[in-house]
Structure 1
């Protein structure tokens, strides 16, 4: 399987929507690119943590990582999970499949949906395990044809890609969530972060190197 998109100018990002480190990288990439006036084309690939770890996402681990990141990146609107425990997503596979299904409408649509799903989870604290929630989020994305997306999801679109990427992620060539690749090959795993265990500073220069 081709692990990166070989088209010039396309950035391939392997990640899980539930991963705070991946969401930090993508937020930073979008923010700095917008400041530079740079056009982004992102091909989202799936690093499904729950399949690789063989367990659902942990709310305590989520809260700890969010607190660690926001202590350094105070510009983020994230907070530990503050709504009912039972609304914490038990799975992100439907959301991951939705982003892959949105690729049928192009990379821009898929990236817009991915960004909106991450904001729904990390900022608005919505249960992105649920198809009705995913549908509502898609309808708020101007770049996404929500009716076409829902029809595609009902027919199983995106699921096969999730599991194909799962097989690729298990080979060891993908070094975690996130792992950023260019059309030439691997760029960086968890760029901007030197040590997740002792995270005290964030290096923004990786975005300029990438762009």
Structure 2
């Protein structure tokens, strides 16, 4: 399987939608590109943490990573999970599949949905495990035809892509969530972060290298 999109100018990002480090990288990439008037084209690929780890995401670990990241990047407006305990997503597979299904409408639609899902989870603290929540989010994305997306999800669209990417993720060629690739090959895993265990500074220069 092709590990990256070979078309010039397309960035491939392997990640899980629930991963704070991946969401940090994508937010930064979008933020800097918007500031500079650069149009991004991102091909989202799946590094499904719950399938690789064989367990659901941990809320305590989530809250700890959020606290670590926001101590350096308070501009993100994230906070530890403050919604009801039972609303913390037990799975991200429906959201991951939805982004892959949205690719049928183009990479721009898939990127818009991915961005909106991450904002819903990390900022609005919504349960992105639920199809009705995903539908509401999709309907707020101008780039996404929500009716077409929902019709595809009902027939299993996106699921095969998630499991195909799982096999690639298991191969060891993808170095975690996130792993950014250019059309020419691998660029960096978790760019801008030198050490997740001792995260005290964020290096923005990796975005300069890409843009």
What is the RMSD of the two structures over their aligned residues, measured on CA atoms?
Answer: 0.3
Q: Deviation digits for residues 79-108 of structure 1, max 9, x if unmatched? A: 000011000000000000000000000000
Q: Deviation digits for residues 32-89 of structure 1, max 9, x if unmatched? A: 0001111100000000000000000000000000000000001111000001100000
Q: Distance in 2 between matches of 1:41 and 1:198?
A: 31
Q: Distance in 2 between matches of 1:6 and 1:139?
A: 30
Alignment partner, residue 128 of structure 1: 128
Q: Distance in 1 between matches of 2:188 and 2:83?
A: 34
Structure 2 gap ranges (5+):
none
SS at match of 1:5: coil
> Shift in Å at residue 136 of structure 1?
0.3
Alignment partner, residue 158 of structure 2: 158
Q: Distance in 2 between matches of 1:95 and 1:74?
A: 26
> Shift in Å at residue 123 of structure 1?
0.3
> Shift in Å at residue 188 of structure 1?
0.2
Alignment partner, residue 2 of structure 1: 2
Q: Distance in 2 between matches of 1:101 and 1:177?
A: 20
Alignment partner, residue 93 of structure 1: 93
- Equivalent pairs, count: 211
Alignment partner, residue 75 of structure 1: 75
Q: Distance in 2 between matches of 1:170 and 1:194?
A: 24
Structure-2-length-normalised TM-score:
1.00
Structure 1 gap ranges (5+):
none
Q: Distance in 1 between matches of 2:108 and 2:70?
A: 28
Alignment partner, residue 25 of structure 1: 25
Q: Which runs of 4+ in 1 moved over 6 A?
A: none
